[in-house]
Amino acid sequence: MICKICGKENLFIFKAKILIKYDVSYFHCPNCGFLQTEEPYWLDEAYQDPINASDTGYLQRNITLSQKVTILLTLFFDKDKRYLDYAGGYGVFVRLMRDIGFDFYWYDKYTQNLFARGFEYKEGMKIEAITTFESFEHFEKPMEEIENMIKISKNIIFTTELLPSPIPEPNKWWYYGLEHGQHISFYSSKTFDFIAKKYNLYFVSSGSLHILTHKKISNFSLKALLKLTKFGLHKIFQKQLKSKTWEDYLSLSEKI
């Protein structure tokens, strides 16, 4: 099977049972470190509900990420520019960031926008940076999705769990998501280094939060700043911003 990232030949490594009934083959690329399933014929079934029922951390993750991203956007980017949450789900993150004071917009091909209605991304908008959380592992055509994002902005802040080394067996890593069948693409730091080099970007990473960017940001700076979230650094920056909650209410009320 051909690697969806670098185009080299993949190696079969194991089979795993997805959705408790499909025996699916997994292939690993020795060139770029990417792990992928065979062509995912089960996705229509897996996405009967786009946000899987076992994702109990959905709301808490969005709250925590809003705090971390507040720090990143204030220190590394222009906080007054427009931002896009790509594969934004129900729009929770966009609403949180607008409540903080950032001009965020929403885009998702598969999920209904419930919380950020009226702030959908329109083609041609100038975007300072993209956020996209827990989406890379869902990409059936990862390079196509990445190129779509890079056309919008060369700054992408995202989360996904990096593939451990050695590669865990199917029953030894929860992130395979065998029970819901939606995770089909898995990346190592080597994979993202390959992607960054291909598009002339930098890759920086701290835990499961990563950035592909044209800016020079050190791993040390990223890790140090994210640790300060625990001490409330984001609250200091939030005081410098004006929430858009009331402004958005007035704007939407006029449209209605």
pLDDT digits (tens, 9 = 90+) for 173-195: 999 999 999 999 999 999 999 99
Provide the pairing of β-strand 185-186 with 156-159.
Answer: unpaired
Higher-pLDDT residue of 255 and 8 is: 8
Confidence band for 50, pLDDT divided at 50, 70 and 90:
confident
Stretch 38-58: mean pLDDT: 86
Any idea which residue has 């791993």 for tokens? 219
The percentage of residues in the chain with a pLDDT greater than 90, rounded to a whole number, is 93
Say how far apart CA 18 and CA 148 lie, in whole Å.
29
For CA atoms 44, 45, 48, 53, give the dihedral sign. Answer: negative
End-to-end CA distance of the chain: 52
Query: Which one, of 117, 88, 130, 131, lies nearest residue 248 by Cα?
Result: 117
pLDDT score, position 73: 97
Question: pTM, whole model, 2 decimals?
Answer: 0.95
DSSP letter for 169, please: P
pLDDT score, position 144: 97
Q: Cβ distance 36 to 3 under 8 Å?
A: yes
pLDDT score, position 255: 83
pLDDT score, position 137: 98
Average pLDDT, the chain: 96
Crossing angle (nearest 10°) for helices 58-76 and 219-227: 120
One-character DSSP codes across 89-158: TTSHHHHHHHHHT-EEEEE-SSS---SSTT-B--TT---SEEEEES-GGG-SSHHHHHHHHHHH-S-EEE
- Tokens representing 173 are 């890593």
